[in-house]
């Protein structure tokens, strides 16, 4: 199923809608524990095959943004025992999981929290979060407002979780949100497709990295 909008209205408007003077790129949770076969989820046996193309696409997106003068912000999960969510831990217990093991994802200062694939360039902001959404408990909104940004192009992991949560909050904060569908991934293809469909229905416009790069090249 093709989840990317290709109608004329989107194509004709994209360059203006994501003009460099108003737009920032968010790259969400592309970290070792979520994206690398050597990370925590990879060692548990989660298949990273669907993630690899998204990492490459997100790297291309970041390069296109930098070339166009568009700010790139990296949003990552950085956990400590003090910031662990009691509600999240209890939910894991009720589902039969081991909160102590699962809570070890992206521990601050450990290799699992390192960015994997696209990495921040010198001077690019890193937003440290402890919940799904990049806006919860962070200064992301204030940073974006200070940049004069009202539009976001979003990439990251996983489509149905932290990407979706961040996109919903961004839309509720009155940002215009575009999701680079090929620069997002889930561990199951149906979850990825379903989440893109829901975001397109409710809170975002879908695009891809090639269309974004072409729009920015035309605006240069």
CB hemisphere CA count around 201 (13 angstroms)? 6
pLDDT, averaged across the chain: 93
Residue 130 in domain: yes
Q: How far apart are the first and last CA of the chain?
A: 33
Lowest mean pLDDT among 9-13, 38-42, 53-57: 9-13
pLDDT tens track for 131-146: 999 999 999 999 999 9
- Residue 22 belongs to a domain with what CATH number? 3.40.50.850
Residue 41 in domain: yes
Residue 22 in domain: yes
* 3-state SS string for 14-27: HHHHCCCCCEEEEE
Count: domains in the chain: 1
Residues 6+ apart with CB under 8 A from 48: 35, 36, 37, 41, 42, 187
In this predicted structure, what is the pLDDT of residue 8? 39
Residue 12 has pLDDT above 60, yes or no: yes
CB 137, CB 131: distance < 8 Å: yes
Residue 140 in domain: yes
pLDDT class for 7, splitting at 50, 70, 90? very low
In this predicted structure, what is the pLDDT of residue 102? 65
Residue 18 has pLDDT above 50, yes or no: yes
Helices (H), 47-152: 51-68, 86-94, 99-102, 140-146
Residue 1 in domain: no
pLDDT tens track for 151-181: 999 999 999 999 999 999 999 999 999 999 9
CB atoms within 10 A of CB 53: 12
pLDDT class for 11, splitting at 50, 70, 90? low
pLDDT tens track for 191-205: 999 999 999 999 999
Burial class (CB in 10 A: 0-12, 13-18, 19+), 204: buried
Residue 3 in domain: no
**What average pLDDT score do residues 36-56 get?**
95
Q: Which residues are catalytic?
A: 29, 129, 162
CB hemisphere CA count around 13 (13 angstroms)? 12
Rounded CA separation 212/110 (Å) = 34
- Given the structure tokens 């009720």, which residue do they identify? 94
Domain that holds residue 14: 8-219
Residue 107 in domain: yes
Residue 2 in domain: no
């Amino acid at each position: 199923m093709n989840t990317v909008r290709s109608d004329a209205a989107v194509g004709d408007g994209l360059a203006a809608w994501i003009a460099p003077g108003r737009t920032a790129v968010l790259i969400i949770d592309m970290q070792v524990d979520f994206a690398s076969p050597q990370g925590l989820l990879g060692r548990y046996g989660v298949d990273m095959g669907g993630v690899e193309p998204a990492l490459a696409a997100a790297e291309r997106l970041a390069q296109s943004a930098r070339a166009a003068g568009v700010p790139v912000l990296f949003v990552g999960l950085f956990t400590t025992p003090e910031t662990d969510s009691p509600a999240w831990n209890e939910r894991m217990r009720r589902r039969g999981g081991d909160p102590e093991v699962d809570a070890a994802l992206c521990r601050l200062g450990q290799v699992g929290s390192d960015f994997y694939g696209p990495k921040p360039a010198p001077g690019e902001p890193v937003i440290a979060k402890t919940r799904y959404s990049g806006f919860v408990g962070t200064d992301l909104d204030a940073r974006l407002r200070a940049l004069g940004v009202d539009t976001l192009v979003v990439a990251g992991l996983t489509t149905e979780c932290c990407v979706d949560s961040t996109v919903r909050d961004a839309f509720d904060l009155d940002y215009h949100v575009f999701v680079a569908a090929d620069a997002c991934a889930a561990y199951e293809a149906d979850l990825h497709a379903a989440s893109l469909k829901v975001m397109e229905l409710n809170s975002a416009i879908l695009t891809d990295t090639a269309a974004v790069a072409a729009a920015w090249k035309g605006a240069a």
